[in-house]
Structure 1
Amino acid sequence: MNFVIFTAAAIVVIFAAIQLNKYGDVISQKSTWSGAMVGTLLIGGATSLPELTTSLTAVYIDNADIAVGNMLGSNVFNVLILMIFDFIYRKRKVFNTVEQSTHLPVAYTGLVMTALISAALLWRDAPELFNVGIEMYLLVAIYIVVMKTSGNPEEEADEPTSPITLKQGVTRFIIAALVVFVAGSALAVYGDLIAKETGMNASFVGSFLIAASTSLPELVTVLAAFRIMNYSLAIGSILGSNLFNLQLLVITDIFYRKEAILNVADPSNITVALLGLVMIALTIFALQRTAVKRVGAYAIPSAVTIILYFAASYIMF
């Protein structure tokens, strides 16, 4: 029964998160404060709401492993999504077609942030300030610096105006957000029950089962981008979402008042963090290497990423 409710909650989260993205876009189009940065933050925050509500609920039920695993696992699953599409469309040599200077700074930032998380997990007793790990302060500082130095995103071409009014968009956005809150909370609660009932590692449940569920809205975004051959949008949305998720991990640590959350997380979370580190490194390699003519050689980074993900899943299970 727990699996049935968990699956139902996952389906609801996916549907509601897609609606959040849809109505967030309506708000950014029709509100007077809808500059590019505001729209990006609004929609980015909307698609990341499932991860936030799930992790905060996990904190409330005192399951640090699901809270941490969900955030780290979501980042890993996001990269997996990108690499699966890159492998499927390997003949198009996606990474060879995008502008490196646009994506490499964000990718390297994600690498550094993930390395900080990995180091804190390996340390096991990392310094903390006000019951928040010192690494979390560094994550925020790095994020602020990168956002300031990267400048505002370019304005996109005008899109067809939605027939939905601003008031309707706001109302539906709020309703979808409430649905995500309830369903995301159910994911954490029933994920915790599944871990206890089956004896599965809570880190595995958070890093793979829940993380996959909350990351499926990103799958829809990447699929849409590949369909219109906007590969830069696909890569940018994944790399940017991962940075945002790590900021949500900071919020999770703030709400976990006992002590720094990474100090109490199970050591098995290190596997997910290190996996994320390697997967980001492979993404950077794919971005900055010189153009590859042979399709088989081009597909090596994405193939290795996919294999690593499922190997790590097997090991943690």
Structure 2
Amino acid sequence: MIVSVLLVAAGFVALIFGANWLVDGASALARKYKVSDLVIGLTIVAFGTSAPELVVNIIASVNGYADIVLGNVIGSNNFNLFIILGLSGLILPISVKSSTAWKEIPISLVVSILLLLLLNDFIFSGTTYLGRTDGLLMLVLFCVFLYYVFTQLKSDPQTTEAAHQKSGKMIWGLIVVGMTGLILGGQLVVVNSVKVASLLGVSEKIIGLTIVAAGTSLPELVTSIVAASKKNSDMVIGNVIGSNIFNMLLILAIASLIKPIGYNPKFNPDLYILIGGTLFLLSSMLTGQKKKLDRWEAAVLFGFFIIYTFFLVVKEV
């Protein structure tokens, strides 16, 4: 068991470094086209920091670990929303553009509600699972989201500061090495997390919602805290909201296309929390004149998640 725990830790290290290298390489490519921080956060950084979830879920889906797949995505999204935004907001009150408050956050809310409906078969009839039809629908919606971001790219004149230009070989080297680290790390995390769960008698659902979700969200955590310390609110909110949309529309879609995902209705309360947290974030941004997540609101997010996780684990034990 000690060996499995150490291998899980090694997998998380590989995921963190892999994501960092991938983000560095992808961001260097994006800055050549002078893309705004918000768009980079919603796309390049969001994809790079969501890559661990993608790799872990592909491996889990192939091996038939449905609860790991769902627990990873739902748990990661809750971790992003409550812990990452909470900590980042405590470092720096997060103010956003009007478009973010009115468009990107509501998109994340609508997608969360759609996922709840799809998983509980309120849209397509059949047994309770996320099938290939659901996956195709989400993939189409993901393409629509990317098109929306592309239109923002045209209309947003803001550009990032010029960064030190990396050579083409260095950029692609970072991307390739980063992806390699993600694949190896994902394999280590999935296989050994399941071993630890079986040895401890803990369900895959709890492992997915806690250990795997927190581990695969570490790249988002590091990226957002660094961005907050540099007073880059657009990167923080773009990373979190973009990652959550990527997780639901792209990562779950790919996993369901590989193999239909059986759904455990016990995940419903966790989805309700995700929807409620997104509503809280939206109301925080729309109240007042500054469109800002204040420190006390960030503290509410962070504190709620700690209490929620405590009761989640206690109920399992």
Q: What displacement does 1:316 show?
A: 2.6
| 1:111-159 deviation digits (Å, cap 9, x = unpaired) | 1111122233344995369x82554444334434444345133352341
Q: Secondary structure at the match of 1:152?
A: helix
Q: Does 1:106 align with 2:77?
A: no
Q: Secondary structure at the match of 2:152?
A: coil
Residue equivalent to 1:132: 131
Q: Is the 8 A contact 2:71 2:213 kept in 1?
A: yes
Rounded to whole Å, the distance in 1 between the matches of 2:90 and 2:161 is 31
Q: What displacement does 1:290 show?
A: 1.2
Q: Of residues 132, 141, 159 in structure 1, which corresponds to 2:162? A: 159
Q: Does 1:250 align with 2:250?
A: no
Distance verdict in 2 for CA 1:124–1:206, change over 3 Å: farther
| 1:85-113 deviation digits (Å, cap 9, x = unpaired) | 21344xxx43xx42232343111111111
Rounded to whole Å, the distance in 1 between the matches of 2:99 and 2:171 is 35
Rounded to whole Å, the distance in 2 between the matches of 1:225 and 1:110 is 21
Unpaired stretches in structure 2, ≥5 consecutive residues:
none
Q: Of residues 62, 87, 90 in structure 2, which corresponds to 1:87? A: 90
Distance verdict in 2 for CA 1:181–1:105, change over 3 Å: same
**How many pairs does the alignment contain?**
300
Distance verdict in 2 for CA 1:149–1:172, change over 3 Å: closer
Q: Of residues 267, 270, 283 in structure 2, which corresponds to 1:272? A: 270
Rounded to whole Å, the distance in 2 between the matches of 1:120 and 1:312 is 24
Residue equivalent to 1:289: 287
Q: Is the 8 A contact 2:88 2:236 kept in 1?
A: no
Q: For residues 171-210 of structure 1, what are the structure 2 equivalents within 5 Å?
A: 171-210=173-212
Q: Does 1:148 align with 2:147?
A: yes
Distance verdict in 2 for CA 1:235–1:42, change over 3 Å: closer
Q: Identity of aligned pairs, percent?
A: 22
Q: Of residues 280, 299, 310 in structure 2, which corresponds to 1:303? A: 299
Q: For residues 197-236 of structure 1, what are the structure 2 equivalents within 5 Å?
A: 197-236=199-238
Paired residue type of 1:48: S
Residue equivalent to 1:11: 13
Rounded to whole Å, the distance in 1 between the matches of 2:100 and 2:43 is 18
Distance verdict in 2 for CA 1:145–1:231, change over 3 Å: same
The root-mean-square deviation of aligned C-alpha atoms, in Å, is: 3.0
Paired residue type of 2:254: I
Distance verdict in 2 for CA 1:161–1:85, change over 3 Å: closer
| 1:45-77 deviation digits (Å, cap 9, x = unpaired) | 332211111011111221100011111111111
Distance verdict in 2 for CA 1:146–1:52, change over 3 Å: closer
TM-score by length of 1: 0.83
Paired residue type of 2:152: N
